[in-house]
Structure 1
Amino acid sequence: MSQRLSFVEKAGYSCGDAAANFVFMSMVLFQLNFYTDVFGLSANTAAAILLWPRLWDAVFDPVMGVLADRTNTRWGKFRPWVLWTTVPWCVVMIAAYTTPDPSWGWSTGMVIAYAGITNTLLMTLYSMNNMPYSALGGVMTGDLNERTKLNSYRFVSVNVAQFIVGGFTLPLVAKFAQGHDRAHGWQVTMTIWAAVCLVLFIVTFFTTKERIKPIVEVQASPKQDFTDLLKNGPWIALVAYTVFNFGMLSMRGGAHFNYYHHYVDKAAMFDFVAALGLTTPDPAGTGSLADALGYIVHGTRDSLTSSNVADVFNSLINMAGFGTTIVVIMLSAGLSARFGKRLVAVGGFALSTLAACALYLLPPTAVWAMLALHMLGAVFYAPTIAVMWAMYADAADYSEWQTGRRFTGMVFATIGFSLKAGLALGSAGFLWVLAGFFGYDTQMPTAPHAIEG
């Protein structure tokens, strides 16, 4: 089956995951520290709030797969879910990053419950939207090469979104916190990101079309679908790969934030940012492009204690990594055709993990080496993203060949389960290691030593 997709459809489809990554990358990069440093939760409490909703979400993913596979509308099976979840997604996204004001008179238990409920709702809506969205890519075309191209478009857009989230979130938070506090900064920033999500989801819905129909109507029970999946060797391998991949991604996101804020030498970071021309002695700005972007270090080299230099440095490092990924990911189709998807996925992940681990062997003043390792890791990791998701669609094809039935939703839902399980174990595990073994507390001077381990 050969079904070529237009540029508009591939670009429109890619908008959906770009939108999802305004939530996803906020979770990976900032949510852990948002709960401890802004919301005021202890490390152990934050770990529990990150773990249990994501484990629930992981369990909910297969349920969502069953619902999506059995959805029949004039728009298809998967496409309507993108539209139906758009408004609730945006509302809950804002609520999850709204910190209860002390004037509300809430008890500690109520604040913890609020964090847990909003995070659980956000995770549930993420599944209800992104699982059908991912499955949609498997039924837009049956051409394997077109699928790889489609996923290349998808992950170029994803990395543009990650570039924006990683580079601009903290400066926007700092900007909107002026005259208020960081809690207000987070609420306004996430409101802006929610508005962006709204537009992108609508674009995806109106520019895509489902073309592949099941050979026969789904007759088997969900239990039979899952039993058949257990006989699918490629699917089993992808589940294990996804847990390791996203567990490492989540752990790395939380570790990097703490690494740059509590371990890396602030004077070295200031000199790095100054070398790029992104410092000014006037916090009000001078009207330069740097001022317009918000990358202005408050304070001077002699007043680094209260400076935002770590936020600025962290943002620049994120932008360098995601910018590198945007360029390299365009090579995914060529690399997978030359070396095979499996080798690109496994080899790229292994090399990127080594680069990430090497980062923690550097002294706290080696900021340029940190930048180099971060970009090197992005070079290795970038091609794995597109080929990984293309392999999920291939696994659905394999199941159809095995069973004579197509249950794309179940395949992507169970992969979603492993993704969420990896995220949960990575983020919660990192917090519990810091709190349990190194006594990490954001309010205590032991924090830097906990990061060093």
Structure 2
Amino acid sequence: MHSTSEKLSVMEKVGYSLGDLAANLIFQTLVTFLAFFYTDVFRIPPGTAATIIFVVGLLGAFVFTPVVGILADRTRTRWGKFRPWILWTSIPFGVLALMAFSTPDLGERGKIIYAASTYTLLVLVYAANNLPYSALSGVLTGSMEQRNSLSAYRFVAVMIAQFIIQALLLPLVLILGHGDKVKGFENAMMLFAVVGTVFFLITFFTTRERIVPTAEQSAGVMQDLADLASNRPWRIVLAITILVFVTLALKGGMYVYYFKYYLSEVELAKFLEGVGFNSSIAGLNAVLTSAGLTAFQWPDDPPTSAFSLFNAGGIICMIIGIGFSKALADRFGKRDVFGGALFISTLFLLAFYIYSPESIWLVFVSQILHGFFYGITIPLLWAMIADVADYSEWKNNRRATAIIFSAMLCGLKIGLSVGSALVAGILAYYSYEAGASAQSPQVVSGIRLAVSVYCSTPFLLAVALLFLYEIDKPMETRIERELGERRLAPGPDS
């Protein structure tokens, strides 16, 4: 095996991370707004929207992702195994994202068919793009310390994309659509498609695959699957991945309803005035208009403005948390840091259950603290997946990076499908009425439970599973040392 544990350049780390920024402009939009877009913009019944999200998500998890994983591990080009997939899918990804958030006037049945078709194609291309991209992180370097650093760069980029989507997308939609949300979503996705394509190309041209399996390490599909089945750390990380993304999709999709229907609009307006938000927007617009530019169109209603500010605060603190991740993981190991930070972050999710509609300050403080501690965990999950690939090579003397990452992306898609479908499913169960100015107490209670108790349960189960995960700091060191010795040893043909 050709290998190196050399230090990655800042340019390569930034170039690699831009690929995740590009993908997450679309991914975060799907997680945060797909249910809302289907029910309140495209006007698909909530139960039908839940079915589309769930079924297509499972199709991506159990069909598209494994197939791409098998194909990517067997790809042979002068550019490597995984980089070509990023090149090939860069333009189709953007085009399908635009189509998925378009709103043709087709009647109810036609809308359902259109939504299901475009979402299916988008999930397919997402798998063909994001799985090889994720697997690429496992072959850029053999150094676990460098992987921790690479993950930190990568997930700062992810948080930037998340900030754009969760804090700025609704204002951007109003600006680009001149007040029309339908047109605004289409124009926003067009912008993301162009930017994403450029960033994917930068990723392709600035990275290099260094860990290349030798012919003796190649195995058939059945052998790869057998290696997975016998890999206990892989099984545990797979379960953790599913649970984490159930929570992320559920809370991400439900917060918009929490602000719109549970929290007091009067108190939200007072909060925005008290923290200087309204005066800041007014000051910004004064500067823009005095310079002859168009004023920044922020949503007028307090729930939408507060929701965007809420997301922005959480994301900024996640980025701060990411900054602590590498140093903590280098010292204590990924497993222990991930579990401890995830548990603390979950406590602040649970706190949402006890807050009254008037407890706006407490809601925001909990979001900030949750964001900080969850931010510490963000780079570690994907670095742990790369470690699982190393563990498999160390134990079996065979490396199948893409199929391991494909299994984890299966878990991601299962989690997102379940979590996103739960958003629409919970709303349907509690008899949510799309577009209504107010909801019944039953619906409001369901929303409140969803953002607290329902969201916290998968996180707590994930923490419990970590007690069975054996790759602690001493084992990380041993695996890296012994694999490094093997890779430096001369091959049979040397």
TM-score by length of 2: 0.85
Aligned to 1:159: 159
Residue of structure 2 aligned with 1:80, choices 70, 81, 84: 84
Could you tell me which amino acid in structure 1 is paired with residue 45 of structure 2?
A: S
In structure 2, how many angstroms separate the alpha carbons of the residues matched to 1:333 and 1:125? 31
In structure 2, how many angstroms separate the alpha carbons of the residues matched to 1:214 and 1:186? 44
Aligned to 2:14: 11
Residue of structure 2 aligned with 1:339, choices 322, 327, 332: 332
1:26-58 CA distance string (max 9 Å, x none): 111111111100010111011011111111110
Cα displacement (A) at 1:358: 1.2
Could you tell me which amino acid in structure 1 is paired with residue 381 of structure 2?
A: M
Aligned to 1:34: 37
Cα displacement (A) at 1:451: 3.0
Aligned to 2:228: 229
Cα displacement (A) at 1:200: 1.1
Aligned to 1:303: none
Contact 1:324 1:375 in 2 (8 A): yes
Cα displacement (A) at 1:378: 0.7
Aligned to 2:50: 47
Contact 2:82 2:135 in 1 (8 A): yes
In structure 2, how many angstroms separate the alpha carbons of the residues matched to 1:281 and 1:387? 36
In structure 1, how many angstroms separate the alpha carbons of the residues matched to 2:425 and 2:273? 36
Cα displacement (A) at 1:350: 2.4
Contact 1:285 1:296 in 2 (8 A): no
1:302-327 CA distance string (max 9 Å, x none): xxxxxx32221111111111111112
Cα 1:202–1:176 shift into 2, 3 Å: same
Cα displacement (A) at 1:155: 0.6
Q: Does 1:147 align with 2:140?
A: no
1:81-160 to structure 2, matched below 5 A, reads 81-101=85-105, 106-160=106-160
In structure 2, how many angstroms separate the alpha carbons of the residues matched to 1:403 and 1:4? 27
1:43-90 CA distance string (max 9 Å, x none): 101101111111111012111110100001111000111110000001
Q: Does 1:439 align with 2:443?
A: no
Aligned positions, number = 438
Cα displacement (A) at 1:7: 0.5
In structure 1, how many angstroms separate the alpha carbons of the residues matched to 2:435 and 2:295? 30
**Larger CA deviation: 422-431 vs 85-94:** 422-431
1:305-320 to structure 2, matched below 5 A, reads 308-320=301-313
Unaligned 5+ segments in structure 1 are 299-307
Aligned to 1:206: 205
Q: Secondary structure at the match of 1:324?
A: helix
Contact 1:283 1:296 in 2 (8 A): no
Aligned to 2:384: 391
Unaligned 5+ segments in structure 2 are 447-494
1:415-437 CA distance string (max 9 Å, x none): 0000000011111123212312x
Could you tell me which amino acid in structure 2 is paired with residue 145 of structure 1?
A: E
Q: Does 1:70 align with 2:79?
A: no
In structure 1, how many angstroms separate the alpha carbons of the residues matched to 2:78 and 2:420? 40
In structure 2, how many angstroms separate the alpha carbons of the residues matched to 1:312 and 1:448? 24
Cα displacement (A) at 1:352: 1.8
Aligned to 1:301: none
Cα 1:276–1:192 shift into 2, 3 Å: farther
Cα displacement (A) at 1:220: 2.5
Cα displacement (A) at 1:284: 13
Q: Secondary structure at the match of 2:104?
A: coil
Cα displacement (A) at 1:20: 1.0
Aligned to 2:401: 408
Aligned to 1:294: 296
Q: Secondary structure at the match of 1:124?
A: helix
Contact 1:283 1:297 in 2 (8 A): no
Cα displacement (A) at 1:292: 7.3
Taking every aligned residue pair, what percent have the same amino acid on both sides? 41
In structure 2, how many angstroms separate the alpha carbons of the residues matched to 1:323 and 1:120? 32
1:391-419 CA distance string (max 9 Å, x none): 11111111112222110000000000000
Aligned to 2:455: none
In structure 1, how many angstroms separate the alpha carbons of the residues matched to 2:288 and 2:372? 28
Could you tell me which amino acid in structure 2 is paired with residue 124 of structure 1?
A: L
In structure 2, how many angstroms separate the alpha carbons of the residues matched to 1:239 and 1:125? 22
Cα displacement (A) at 1:282: 11
Cα 1:264–1:2 shift into 2, 3 Å: same
Cα 1:286–1:225 shift into 2, 3 Å: closer
In structure 2, how many angstroms separate the alpha carbons of the residues matched to 1:194 and 1:254? 22
Could you tell me which amino acid in structure 1 is paired with residue 264 of structure 2?
A: D
Cα displacement (A) at 1:281: 13
Aligned to 1:302: none
Cα 1:450–1:327 shift into 2, 3 Å: same
Cα displacement (A) at 1:231: 0.7
Contact 2:87 2:201 in 1 (8 A): yes
Cα 1:224–1:33 shift into 2, 3 Å: same
In structure 1, how many angstroms separate the alpha carbons of the residues matched to 2:168 and 2:294? 11
Q: Secondary structure at the match of 2:138?
A: helix
Give the alignment's Cα RMSD to 1 decimal: 2.2
Cα 1:172–1:67 shift into 2, 3 Å: same
In structure 2, how many angstroms separate the alpha carbons of the residues matched to 1:314 and 1:258? 10
In structure 1, how many angstroms separate the alpha carbons of the residues matched to 2:445 and 2:39? 19
Could you tell me which amino acid in structure 2 is paired with residue 231 of structure 1?
A: S
Could you tell me which amino acid in structure 1 is paired with residue 50 of structure 2?
A: A
1:157-192 CA distance string (max 9 Å, x none): 11111111111100011223335x311111111111
In structure 2, how many angstroms separate the alpha carbons of the residues matched to 1:137 and 1:281? 40
Could you tell me which amino acid in structure 1 is paired with residue 224 of structure 2?
A: D
In structure 2, how many angstroms separate the alpha carbons of the residues matched to 1:70 and 1:132? 12
Cα displacement (A) at 1:260: 0.7
Aligned to 2:464: none
Q: Secondary structure at the match of 2:398?
A: coil
Cα displacement (A) at 1:288: 3.7
TM-score by length of 1: 0.92
Cα displacement (A) at 1:219: 4.0
In structure 2, how many angstroms separate the alpha carbons of the residues matched to 1:193 and 1:266? 32
Could you tell me which amino acid in structure 2 is paired with residue 7 of structure 1?
A: V
In structure 1, how many angstroms separate the alpha carbons of the residues matched to 2:287 and 2:440? 36
